[in-house]
Structure formats: structure tokens, C-alpha cells
Structure 1
Amino acid sequence: MTEEKRGRAGNGDDSIYWDKSKNRYIGAISLGYTPAGKRNRSKVSGKTKTEVRAKLREKRRELENGVKTSAAYTVEQAVTDWLSRGLKGREASSVKAYTSLAKNHVIAALGKAKLHELEADDVDDWLDVRAETLSRESLRRVLWILRRSIAHAQRRGRVGVNVAEFVDLPDGQDGRPSKSLSLLQAQALLSTRQGSWIHAYVVLALLVGIRTEEERALAWNHVHTKVGEDGRSHVDVWRSVRRDGETKTRLSRRSLAMPLQAAKVLEDYRARQQAEFQEAGAEWSMQGLVFPGPGGGQRSSTNVRKNLRSLLKEAGLKHPEAEFHEPQEWTTRELRTSFVSLLSDTGVPIEVIAKLVGHSTTATTERFYRKQLRPVIAEGAEAMDAVFESDRNDDQGASTGT
């Protein structure tokens, strides 16, 4: 390699020289020596000395701020590093989802870009293209991945500025709206396939508002069908199918009163389950799962969703007036959405609904529907008793022959 130096640089000074083999000027900053005693230098290149001097000044500022950018370090490397090191302790399902979004939307579009050269305009352009096919929620997630990846690189001195923090999120496409059952549909669903585990599952989700991940991990010792000292039967929502069996947050642990109909259904379902265990020669336990899968372990979300859709289809055939359109499109989460909708339609204040589903603010309830509260909350059970009282009276009249 042939070099033409600008002049002998002093010890520790920056130097610029012409590299004939690369047909470019090279600038170098001395970083001292490695532990092995080898001289350590950081280099930049450019077509002119002016360009190289500007890069050296930027490199010197970064070094003074403790940042050691690499000219070759790409967005793909930054995202990959975050996926491998920045998601420790996360659920396997969450890691899988983030990895898929990162590969398909961040790395696929921005991966080859040098991280230190990435600009806010590049991120804006990327988001505008993605907004043509992704919903706003999906856009929020992929931008979050990029921001976290760059922040991860920042903490390791790979880049000085997180340009992804300087952009606004575009609107994106309309996502699939959540569905909720009407009162007529809920009544039809609750009268279908009574005595089955999926019927009891739907009763608990629809009348109490428990999340599906909490139901699948629910054990009998947390279901109190007998009236307690507070005058209500209730269910303790203390576990979920998440890692280590914990609920999403510590505050997600709560006890919720059950409407009379839900308590009766679960009591009858437990008696049938005990009889089935006895007939099969298996031991039944209060610590056992309320809704065990075919092998006795936790039931999968896929299995629950499949059985729910089958129940919806059957309810539609049995009650055509309920008009269950496209039952194959429903998800188990929408039982919880229906819980909130039915309470709201009955006149229960949004503040009470927020407390029942565990939201710190009513805005969160309106947007998501979620958690909390340790004391037994009775308002939802009382409202559901009133909503379905006529059904219960009809059943009692039929049983007495009146």
C-alpha cells in the first residue's frame, strides 16, 4: 500500500493520508495501545481531506463523550444484538413475536444501513412505507423495536444519538376491530352445550371478566362457589400461564365476586369433573386445574379458541335470531371485550368497569380492558345477576313446572 502523509503527526495526534489502493483519503485517531501493546487506531475515509477532517472532528467528539462508533456496524447488527441480549427474562412467546417483527419489518428494510449514518429522515421514510400495509399498533411495535435496539447500542457506545426518538408515528391502516357479543348473542351462547367444560369456561370469562391466560391456569382451590363472609362467592385470580405462573404484574392479582349463575355453573361442573375422575380411576384434587387439557396439563390457547368457535357455530345454528356471523373469526379475548360491553350497556359506570378489569385509568379500559384489585369486587357480579336474572327465573319455572 502506498501512503502520502500530510506530515508527521505528533504522538496522539490525528493523521490524514492518501491510500492509493482505495483511491481515498484515510484519517486516523490514536486510541493508545491495546493490552497486548499494539497501537490502537480508529479510522475514517473520504474523497477529500475536508470530508475526512469533518469525520475526524465528529469521531473525536464521540470519543470525548465515551462513544466508540464503528463505521461497519449496521442496523441489522444493532437489532440482532438487542434481540439476543436485551430481552432477557421475557416470555418465549414475546421473544418470538419481537424477532418476527424485527426480521420482517426492521432488518428487511433498514438492516444494511450503517447505524452511525442512519438519519431521522430515513426512519420517517421507512415508517411511511410500512404504514401502507401495517396497522398503527403494528407500526408502534416495530418503531419500539428500532428505538430499543438503538438505545441498546447507545449504552454500549456504538452510536451517539438515537434518531428513532425524533420521528412521529404515522396513522397506518385500520386494524381488525375487536368484537363484542350483544345481550341476545350472550344469552344464546350461555344456553348452548351446557354441562361441557367450554360452557363453564365461557360463563367464567363472560360473566366475571377473567382473561383467558388466567382461566387456563386457574385451580379449584381458587374458586369459591360457596358464599363467604362477605356474602359473595368469588374467584381468586392469582395465577396465569405466563412464565413462573405469575400474573402479568403483581397488581394483576385480584379477587372477583361471581354472579350466582357463574357460581352454580362452576359448582355443577366441578361435581361432573369429580365423577369423571372417579370413573377413570384418577385422583381429583383441589389443587388441580379447573380446565385441564386432554393430557391433564394446561390447556393450550389454540385448543380453547377452537372449542369456542365450535360453540359459537353451534349457538348460531340453535339460535339463528342471534346472528352469529363468521364464528371462525372470533377470539377468546373477545369474551372479555363482551364483559366490558355488557356492563357498559347495563349502565355500570366506566370507573367501576375500570376497577373490575384492573385499569388504573378509564382511558386504559376504553382502549384495552385489563387487570387488578385484591379486595373482592362485587359490582360486576351484581350487574350480571340483573342482566341474566330473567334466564334464571325461566329455568327455575321450568324445573317447578310453572
Structure 2
Amino acid sequence: MAKILIGKYEATIYPEGEGYTGAISLGFGPDGKRQRLKRKGKTKAAVKDKLIKAVKDLEVGVTASENYTVREAVNDWLAKGLKDRSESTVTKLRILADTHVIPALGKIKLKQLRADHVDEWLDQLSSELATRTLRDVHSVLKRAIRQAQARDMVVRNVAELVTTPKGTEGRPSKALTRQQAEAVLTAAESSELRSYVVISLMTGIRTEEARALRWDHVVAWMPSLKEWQPVTKVGLNHEKFAIYVWRADRVGGDTKTRKSRRTLELPTLAAQALRQHHVRQAAQKLKAGEAWQDHNLVFCTSVGTQLDAANVRRAFRKITQDAEIGTDWTPRELRHSFVSIMSDQGVPIETIADLVGHAGTSVTEAVYRHQLKPVITKGAHTMNIIFGESRRVESE
């Protein structure tokens, strides 16, 4: 068994099986056991080359085994690198990884992954995926290797060296016309999602903001006091209501940006839908009995828990189907429809930006949770003109 010196390490190469094995002594580990790095090959020369490469990795701090694959790197990242992400985000990234990354690149040893591999992989996907999805898939690989770098599993991130190509044209977001909006409102009258649809269309709030809306963030106008009071305190037997859009179904519960926090008066139709929704929810609570989980949510399941985004999408598709405008619609397009309708009615873009909570608007955020900001009434006024205060939802 010949001994050779590779760098500062003493190595041995010896026959084993149908080839040769090389071993480098790395001393003793914390458990007192001797640590050895091994490489196998058909010839002594091949084994020596592998040992030289292994020593170079050791000198730059790389600790991954020769067999550590892209699959393992991606799975390690999904397991350890997303601790601050929501369950829905982790699920989405897992699907992207399992569908597009691991099947194509998973078997490649991470140390052997080259920029050409990534280039060819992305070029193949570019004819199948929309540009945004392609960027997300590429990001999965980049972030997985970035974590591997941080843990000394690989020297460089070859995925960072590649530019994401342009993918296919994704389906552009669209907006309901006034006639389509009328049809959707009519079709929604028989749906449990009715008040969700009415308020989303009439105020332009984001879907994640609607799902997180709580009753203590709904306020009623008290003419005698000339101020807004929470409906949890004064009830819903009033004419004018507003909502504090302060929360969202996101990690941490915050809105998309701090400037997304805003207060919006509800149009008459939305106020009517809200009152009737409150009555139905009270009935649901009684029916659920001890199964009811009180999270104080305006929109919730039959037992009080938060609505699932996928279930909301399915219910909304049923409404658009009943409205005879097809099923290729998503709840977020109610927000697009709000903006479109406002714009068609000549509402200034600055006002629209305030209403939908876009960053860079003049809406201030001073002491947002402790002091009620001036309620924006332009949206409610315009919707009342368009859909008419005379429109009434039939009482149950």
C-alpha cells in the first residue's frame, strides 16, 4: 500500500475490488473516531486525480461529499432555508422544485453542475413556462445552491452566472366590463362568497387583504358623535360603514407594504352585503356550536377558520361561470376591475392609487393603528353612481 503526499495531507492508494481506493487521513473527529476521506477509481492515476481535487476542496473549505447532488441541495434548502416563509409559499416552491428542477438536474453531482447545464435546462423550459414562472424556477436553483455555498458544500453558484431567458407569454390580468361586473354581482347573490365578491369589487382590496379582514376593523359612522366606531361595539344597524385595511393573509399578517394600509368607506351595495353577511355568519356560528373557532374574521369557513385561497378561486370560478363570462377569471381580477371602472369614470390616478394602497401615493401612515386616518370616500361615491343606491340585495 503506497503512501503519497498530496499538499499537506498523507494519502494511501490500494487495490480494492476491480479498481483502486485512495484514502486521506483527516485526523480525529469530536467523537474520537478517525476521519478519512476516500475516493475510488479504475486506475491509480484516476484515484490520485480525485484525491488532488478533494484536497483542493478541503483547502477552500468545501465539505460536501463527492456524491452530493442537486436534488439533495434543493431538498436541504426546502427543509432548512424557508423557515420565515408561509406554508403556501413553501408549497409553491416545492411544486416548482419537484416539477421542473429535480427531474431535470437532480441527479447531477452539485460539484459537477456547470453553467452550460443550467443554460440548456432553462432554454428547454422557456418554450413551456411563462417568463415569471421561469424566473421563479431559476430562483429555486439559485437559492438552493446559495445555501449550499453558505454551508461549504460547493465553491461557486453556477446558477448565478446564467441569465433567465424570456419564457412564453403569460395570461395577462384582465378586468370586468361594467356589464360583466353586473352579471357577476347577480350570479354572486346565491353564493356564500357573495359579500366577499361585492366588497372586493367595490373597494379594490387585495384578495389577501379580504381574507384577513376582521370585524374589529369594520367601523360604522355615528352621526350623533360625528365619528367612526367599531361595529363590534355599536353593531351593524347603521347606514355608513368603512373598513380598516390593515392586515393581509401574508407572513406576519401585514399588508403588502406599509403604504398599503388604508381606510375605505363602503359603497351602499357593499354595506348592504356586509350586514346580511353578518346575519348569515351568526347563523353559521350557532349551527357549528363547539366546532366554531372564533378568529373574528369577516370572511371565514363554516367553522370560523380562515378561507383557503384555492377554495376562494374555485368558488369564484363557479360565480363567473354562472354569470356566463367563462371560468378563466381569478378573484384578484376584481381589484383590476375596480381600477378599470374608476379610470373609466374619470377618477384621477392619484385617487385610484390611494384607494388601492399603491406605494408612492400621498396617503400618509402616521400612527396608523392608533389614530383613524381620514376615510377615503371617492370610491364609495363613484360605485354608488355606477351601480345605483337603489340596487338591493334581497333579504333572506
Shorter chain as denominator, the TM-score bin is 0.7 to 0.9
Task: State yes or no: 1:98 paired with 2:97.
Answer: no
Question: CA–CA distance in 1 between the matches of 2:264 and 2:13?
Answer: 78
The structure-2 alpha-carbon separation of the partners of 1:64 and 1:270, relative to structure 1 and needing over 3 Å to count, comes to same
Equivalent residues of 1:247, 1:253 under 8 A apart: no
Equivalent residues of 1:78, 1:153 under 8 A apart: yes
String of CA shifts for 1:239-278, please: whole Å, max 9, x gaps.
444567x235573772321243255324542574488579
Shift of 1:291: 3.0
Shift of 1:303: 4.4
Number of residue equivalences = 371
Partner of 1:367: none
Question: CA–CA distance in 2 between the matches of 1:20 and 1:280?
Answer: 73
Partner of 1:212: 207
Partner of 1:80: 75
Task: State yes or no: 1:69 paired with 2:64.
Answer: yes
TM-score (norm. length: structure 2) = 0.77
Q: Which of 198, 207, 231 is the aligned partner of 1:203?
A: 198
Partner of 2:339: 340
Task: State yes or no: 1:260 paired with 2:295.
Answer: no
Question: CA–CA distance in 2 between the matches of 1:75 and 1:301?
Answer: 31
Task: State yes or no: 1:127 paired with 2:122.
Answer: yes
Any residues of structure 2 matched to 1:242-253 within 5 Å, and which? 242=250, 246-247=253-254, 251=258
Task: State yes or no: 1:157 paired with 2:190.
Answer: no
Shift of 1:8: 4.9
Question: CA–CA distance in 1 between the matches of 2:350 and 2:56?
Answer: 52
String of CA shifts for 1:133-170, please: whole Å, max 9, x gaps.
12112211111111111111111111110111010111
String of CA shifts for 1:96-151, please: whole Å, max 9, x gaps.
22222111211111111010111111111111112221211221111111111111
SS in structure 2 opposite 1:132?
Answer: coil
Task: State yes or no: 1:386 paired with 2:393.
Answer: no
Partner of 1:234: 242
Equivalent residues of 1:136, 1:172 under 8 A apart: yes
Structure 2, unaligned runs of 5 or more: 230-239
CA RMSD of aligned residues (A): 4.0
Question: CA–CA distance in 1 between the matches of 2:321 and 2:6?
Answer: 82
Shift of 1:389: 0.7
The structure-2 alpha-carbon separation of the partners of 1:65 and 1:302, relative to structure 1 and needing over 3 Å to count, comes to closer
The structure-2 alpha-carbon separation of the partners of 1:66 and 1:274, relative to structure 1 and needing over 3 Å to count, comes to closer
SS in structure 2 opposite 1:40?
Answer: strand
Shift of 1:71: 0.8
Equivalent residues of 1:12, 1:29 under 8 A apart: no
Question: CA–CA distance in 2 between the matches of 1:306 and 1:9?
Answer: 67
Higher deviation after alignment, 254-263 or 38-47: 38-47
Q: Which of 100, 104, 111 is the aligned partner of 1:109?
A: 104
TM-score (norm. length: structure 1) = 0.76
Question: CA–CA distance in 2 between the matches of 1:47 and 1:349?
Answer: 76
Equivalent residues of 1:234, 1:258 under 8 A apart: yes
Question: CA–CA distance in 1 between the matches of 2:31 and 2:349?
Answer: 67
Structure 1, unaligned runs of 5 or more: 317-323, 363-371, 397-402
Question: CA–CA distance in 2 between the matches of 1:37 and 1:190?
Answer: 73
